[in-house]
Structure 1
């Protein structure tokens, strides 16, 4: 594969246009990821009724977790590889992998094959967020980074929304396989995405490709990033990246980021997977249950823009910590037998206090560490958080199959939100200058 250089990128115009294009491409990639992730929650009621497979609630939870396992390894590996091979290249490769694996999952003749394709697709899914986060932060002005990140990451919630809408439309006629097959569409947009997305200037400079970076920066009317000179080291490049990510001065921040994102992803994937099923078991019909999933996603997509603006103005720690706490209270309130109107309000707040808060926190994570390790640091943080993502569907399945009552699903998830809020409040301030 040839190096991605200036000749691979069209005339992109002034920095504001470059930022818009980067945001749009990253938004599309995140939208596709949201659909891929959200599709499990949308089809779970139908999959549970598939007599050919006859899955128990715990087996359904495990089946939902295969992609999470793949995402763990994907975030870990792709975040590192993007610093060594290029952020643009890895983002496009990730989209290709997870969209092709959706075709395999739609065909899968057995649960084992389904789990295999979901796992391999998860490798691509896990790499999208670290790379998209690094590119969005790099091409955004400092005073708009949280807002731009919220704007870019709104695609995730809209992707989940699209999954719920596709389920409502296709389940009656095409079944759950037809809903999954829609996830193959990203392949058709790979080439336009590649033409719109420039390579990371931080990556080029970090690789010593200064002439190429200068030419690209000139074309984009941007300045070449001044990454600090590093002492001569005989360590391989990947070891230097790891040494920076796990430096002692970042230890407390790393622990707080990882715990908060672990809890945040547990909430996102647990609620996204089990919310329609829990509400159906509580007496609501399938349309209303999927409608709540749509509200969960839509509120977090729109609310993420509000949270981003608020975080730019009042600080990420205060805004994200408060909304994790408010989201936990809303989830706890869902345990009661409420009117449908009140449930919609509570689910909207829960979406804002889980997906919305987590996406802003992920953007802050990418901005917290030195530029040369943005994607790697984000990848490691999200890889640990994938344990939370894997635990979410399993926690919902365990509680649903334990016979202790539907209310305990919401109580358990509310306690997780409380832990996330505490971790964010303990997060140290971002250093004024990064080495």
Structure 2
């Protein structure tokens, strides 16, 4: 059977846009649930019924992240077994309904439990949405489409900050969190309009369903995906364990170590600053409204920055852009120590957002492009799972600083140092090794590899 070319595989723009929009909605809802705790943390700190210490507040920020670590592993795997569409919708149901539970929770222990269970859905929605986005995007647009879809994450955090600004003074922190349950109303919409993965249907031998779905989506000249094992006569897939050991082979060990360190630091910055930035700025003398504005700018700048950095990385190289913007992000964090004007500090916060969230997005794409095609998913998934430990550490580090009675400047010094460590780790990543790769499932090998290089 001839290998299909990119021109043979025609996904209408409308279909790609529909998948992107559905996944964007799911990521937007997840971003709200991730960002809402940081938005209401100052109010929780003053909630006398619970009387939480700074370290306990940091612990509440980590419960969801623990769930996300587990959810990314198990729900991502289940999407390969029962379908991506079903697991994306199941993930949304989990984290939306548990937001309602967290808003109701009469004790901090129940609040943490609902956040932990909700984290399973939040962690699961990311790999599933990423897979659907990539599978329905043309090879030479996958990186940009991924960045566009994932902009919903930052905008969700923006929505959480806005909700806190307008709802918190009158409705309290419970009302702000309960808004995170509203996306459950989107589930019927996603069920109706989001298509299942064609690759999933074919991998389960449901080729007739895949062909019928392709016709429904107006994908002309549909060519079924060629199974990897049948691409070459007599070939057989590598044993499952080789996809893991390849990452730690002499060829890739150094790359794996420094990718993991840099992404660990990146997510530590994202979740540490997202959770504690309003409280840090309030301690620096800003009122609650102004401190939430910092979170708003932090997130909005990262949403725009993700698209800009993606374009720049395509043109100048991922490694250079990552190093430069991790350093700029660290400088932006450090300069917040000084008593600048509000406008200047907002500019520094914008650099901090770009140097943490936007860079982590580009770094994730860098990892996916770096490894051979037959271990790309495993390498990316393991790196993200390890980095979740950094995400869990971020809120705890902020809580430890607050509980240690250190000056608020210590937050900026420590987080800026972590950004510099991320930049140093990226510098240590060696150039990609040339390695044979399997032919593309949906395009000519040369065209697919060129598209990946463009990413």
Residues 130 and 378 in structure 1, CA contact (< 8 A), matched pair in contact too: no
- Compute the displacement of 1:330 (Å): 1.1
Instruction: Kindly indicate whether residue 175 of structure 2 is the aligned counterpart of residue 173 of structure 1.
Output: no
Query: 2:432 is matched with which residue?
Result: 429
Residues 147 and 306 in structure 2, CA contact (< 8 A), matched pair in contact too: yes
Residues 268 and 354 in structure 1, CA contact (< 8 A), matched pair in contact too: yes
| CA distance in structure 1 between the aligned counterparts of 2:149 and 2:161, rounded to whole angstroms | 20
Residues 149 and 308 in structure 1, CA contact (< 8 A), matched pair in contact too: no
- Compute the displacement of 1:119 (Å): 0.2
Query: 1:325 is matched with which residue?
Result: 327
- Compute the displacement of 1:433 (Å): 5.2
Q: Label 1:87 to 1:376 Cα distance change in 2 as closer, same or farther (>3 A).
A: farther
Query: 2:106 is matched with which residue?
Result: 109
* Paired residues, number: 418
| CA distance in structure 2 between the aligned counterparts of 1:343 and 1:286, rounded to whole angstroms | 16
SS at match of 1:413: helix
Query: 1:21 is matched with which residue?
Result: 18
Query: 2:229 is matched with which residue?
Result: 229
Residues 82 and 375 in structure 1, CA contact (< 8 A), matched pair in contact too: no
Instruction: Kindly indicate whether residue 264 of structure 2 is the aligned counterpart of residue 262 of structure 1.
Output: yes
Q: Label 1:338 to 1:246 Cα distance change in 2 as closer, same or farther (>3 A).
A: farther
| CA distance in structure 2 between the aligned counterparts of 1:263 and 1:170, rounded to whole angstroms | 33
Query: 2:346 is matched with which residue?
Result: 344
| CA distance in structure 2 between the aligned counterparts of 1:370 and 1:17, rounded to whole angstroms | 31
Deviates more, 1:424-433 or 1:284-293: 424-433
Q: How does 1:11-410 map to 2 (within 5 A)?
A: 14-218=11-215, 219-221=218-220, 223-229=223-229, 240=240, 243-247=242-246, 248=249, 250-368=252-370, 377-410=379-412
Deviates more, 1:296-305 or 1:190-199: 190-199
Structure 2: unaligned runs, 5 residues or longer = 1-9, 439-455
- Compute the displacement of 1:304 (Å): 1.1
Q: Label 1:434 to 1:310 Cα distance change in 2 as closer, same or farther (>3 A).
A: same
Q: Deviations over 1:326-353 (max 9, x none)?
A: 1112111112222211110000011011
| CA distance in structure 2 between the aligned counterparts of 1:165 and 1:339, rounded to whole angstroms | 22
| CA distance in structure 2 between the aligned counterparts of 1:89 and 1:375, rounded to whole angstroms | 20
Deviates more, 1:303-312 or 1:362-371: 362-371
| CA distance in structure 2 between the aligned counterparts of 1:99 and 1:111, rounded to whole angstroms | 19
Residues 206 and 372 in structure 1, CA contact (< 8 A), matched pair in contact too: no
Residues 229 and 236 in structure 2, CA contact (< 8 A), matched pair in contact too: no
Higher Cα radius of gyration = 2
Structure 1: unaligned runs, 5 residues or longer = 1-12
| CA distance in structure 2 between the aligned counterparts of 1:348 and 1:138, rounded to whole angstroms | 32
Deviates more, 1:342-351 or 1:412-421: 412-421
Q: Label 1:356 to 1:181 Cα distance change in 2 as closer, same or farther (>3 A).
A: same
- Compute the displacement of 1:385 (Å): 1.1
Q: Deviations over 1:255-278 (max 9, x none)?
A: 333222211111011001111101
SS at match of 1:34: helix
Deviates more, 1:198-207 or 1:326-335: 198-207
| CA distance in structure 1 between the aligned counterparts of 2:92 and 2:129, rounded to whole angstroms | 11
Residues 103 and 178 in structure 2, CA contact (< 8 A), matched pair in contact too: yes
| CA distance in structure 1 between the aligned counterparts of 2:309 and 2:433, rounded to whole angstroms | 18
Deviates more, 1:296-305 or 1:415-424: 415-424
Deviates more, 1:127-136 or 1:35-44: 127-136
Q: Label 1:367 to 1:124 Cα distance change in 2 as closer, same or farther (>3 A).
A: farther
| CA distance in structure 2 between the aligned counterparts of 1:332 and 1:352, rounded to whole angstroms | 14
Q: Deviations over 1:192-222 (max 9, x none)?
A: 1122222223333444444443444454335
Deviates more, 1:96-105 or 1:354-363: 354-363
- Compute the displacement of 1:179 (Å): 0.3
| CA distance in structure 1 between the aligned counterparts of 2:80 and 2:368, rounded to whole angstroms | 13
| CA distance in structure 1 between the aligned counterparts of 2:197 and 2:372, rounded to whole angstroms | 14
| CA distance in structure 2 between the aligned counterparts of 1:198 and 1:375, rounded to whole angstroms | 22
| CA distance in structure 2 between the aligned counterparts of 1:199 and 1:253, rounded to whole angstroms | 34
TM-score (structure 2 length as normaliser) = 0.86
* CA RMSD, Structure 1 to Structure 2 (Å): 2.3
| CA distance in structure 2 between the aligned counterparts of 1:268 and 1:76, rounded to whole angstroms | 20
